[in-house]
Amino acid sequence: MIQTGMRYRIRHEGPGSLHIALDRSRLSKQEADILYYALIEHRDVLKVSVYPRAGEAVIRYRRDREALLTSLDTLSLKDPEAARIPGVSARQTNEEYKEKIISMLLRRGMKKLLLPAPVRAVLTVWRAVPFIWHGLRDVLHGHFSAEIIHASAIGASLLIGDFPTADSITFLTELGELLEEWTYKKSVDDLAQSLSLNVSRVWKVGEGADELTDIESIAVGDRIRITMGNVIPLDGIAAEGEAMVNQSALTGEPLSVRKIPGRAVFAGTVVEEGELVIEVREVSGETRYDQIIKMIEASESMNPETQSQAERVVTRMIPYTFATAVITWLLTRNVTKAASVLMVDFSCAIEVAMPVATLSAMSEANRHQLTVKGGKFLEIISQADTIVFDKTGTLTMAMPCVEQVVGLDGHEENDMLRIAACLEEHFPHSLANAVVRAAQERNLQHEEMHSKPEYIVAHGIVSTIEGKRVVLGSDHFIFDVEGVPREPGHEALILERIPSENSRLFLAIDGRLSAVIGIADPIKEEAAGVIAQLKELGIRHVVMMTGDSRRTAEAVAARAGITEFYAEVLPEDKARYVEEQKAAGRRVIMVGDGINDSPALSAADVGIAMKEGADIAQEIADVTLSGDALAQLVILKKISDRLMPRMHSTARIGIGFNGAILLAGLLGLVMPGAAAFLHNASTIGLSLYNMTPLLEEHEI
């Protein structure tokens, strides 16, 4: 066949699989990456295996074979834009470690076949020097470590002239470390590549007014405006404005940082207060992968307490292992037995296999659109007995819709909706998105007609249009805070036009109520079922808190099966309630999606944010749900509940198996080389097992 893009032939075909051979015997790293990532993104492709040295690939797919062949026909391996290749390619990582292992095995085989014994002995001593030096260094620093044990075993073998044993120990230790490094790096890469900023459009500063623009069209030197509660999507320099920026995901700083003109700002950070105009300095997103890796490294400082306890136990065991070897040599004068004992390192299974279990669980959660920022949060979720829900955008639909616009005192409803949308588009929240979407559906153009809008948390928005003060927000904000007068005629009209179960957004211009927007906020269909499942999984205390009216809150709580709810609460009320529950000894999860949920998300043992909500909520939260699927909470709880038994079993098996190796070495049943092999094999085996999914497909 003749292709317009890549040339290939089908070598073998089976049900749901294709084995293709390209028109070249070898693929470059870039070509292999383009082929892999272009295919893996195809909607019908389940798995891709690329073999660069042979110029072949095996593809597992479902459904549409013709669409897959069309993609292959048009794919160009010379076009870097043909696939979204991540900053660090997991495919390249695998190839790199495979080549390292193959090279190690080949060098060892060639050395045994071609080099005489004296030369092999010299090479053994040369390779042993770094191990012995690391061990001596730890001794000098008073730090008992696995390196001391390995150095002692190798040194003992060299002292008695057993060069083959010293060589085997060195080789197996190096091979084990390489395999452990590969296993760990693959877990990190898989997790890092699944995380991204999820920002598609930004406000580009123009000569007349700001323009909402696709982020791909932003160039170096362009200026973008970032308002309160939004993520900074690109690296740059603050050009105008002043803001407090949360950089915790990037730098680990617990407090926000003040940014003024001239100071650098970074992608992935969030404007907590104020507003910035940023001159873009980096548009390729190359720095984002590094930020994600830093986040994962930071998450390792938040390891589950189970892992920390196990690490403390095995660290205390190292001196006893060394002492056992010394006693064995004193009693038997058998260096081989002593060396076999020294090959046992209890810490490896704990320090390698347990982190792999945590990273794998985080990666599995991410495959279900759950971003978890640290292993300790999975542990806390498994222990949690209380969950607090926000209402709007959390228990109710993330896409509420405007059903009524009531213009008052002669104001035309489309004009009022246009003004509301013009204000709301700057401050993303589910209700704000509903207003903007309603204006779009009515083809209402809402160019910037106002002065700088100001968002007042849990209340609403204040701005100025044609010299008149405009306020948009809740009943409490408009009438109690702003002092807009209530008029009996308005009340009757509102009750007549807007059903009692709908939320209401009030618009006042120049101190007079001008419009009321009725927003239907239906409860999510799965809410009641999800809450019932969470109770079955051990969550005994379920609460709903909302700033909405008691009338609306009561209706939603009843449909969701929640008996305890609080209405018309402020952000500080939610945070105070969470703190009270923690003080009472409860483990508390908070689930929310808005700027006003941020204090409670921060106060909870685990804060969970909806990804479609405000950026600041996502930044502060410990876990982010993608979209509005509450069922993800059940998946998260199941993953957390399954992870902890796996962590405990890893510790038990690792310690038990290595204890058996130690005993076998003490009795002379295994030689040092075999002990090293068994020790490394157990660590690798546990790591590979810990990379397997925690949930079966039928449980999802």
CA distance 314 to 311: 5
DSSP class of 485: P
For 111, half-sphere exposure in the C-beta direction (CA atoms, 13 angstrom radius) is 18
End-to-end C-alpha distance for the chain, whole angstroms? 42
For residue 572, how many other CB atoms are within 10 A of its CB?
A: 14
- Which residues 6+ apart lie within 8 Å of 649 measured at CB? none
Instruction: Kindly list the distances between the CA atom of residue 670 and the CA atoms of 329, 344, 566, in Å, as whole numbers in the listed order.
Output: 15, 12, 66
In degrees to the nearest 10, what's the CA dihedral of 96, 102, 106, 109?
140
Helix (H) or strand (E) holding 154: helix 146-159
For 531, half-sphere exposure in the C-beta direction (CA atoms, 13 angstrom radius) is 25
- Which residues 6+ apart lie within 8 Å of 575 measured at CB? 599, 600, 602, 603
Respond yes or no: is residue 390 known to be catalytic.
Answer: yes
From the list 33, 390, 548, 605, the catalytic residue is 390
* Phi, psi torsion values for 223, nearest 5 degrees: -115, 135
| DSSP letters for 339-394 | HHHHT--THHIIIIIHHHHHHHHHHHHHHTTEEES-HHHHHHHHH--EEEEEIIII
Q: Would you mind telling me the total number of residues written for the chain in this entry?
A: 700
Helix or strand or coil: residue 412? coil
Are 407 and 336 a contacting pair, CB within 8 Å?
A: no
DSSP class of 231: B
Helix or strand or coil: residue 688? helix
CA distance 396 to 79: 44
In 447-567 the beta strands, taken as DSSP E runs, fall at 454-456, 460-465, 468-473, 503-509, 512-520, 541-545, 564-566
Question: Would you name the residues annotated as active-site residues?
Answer: 390
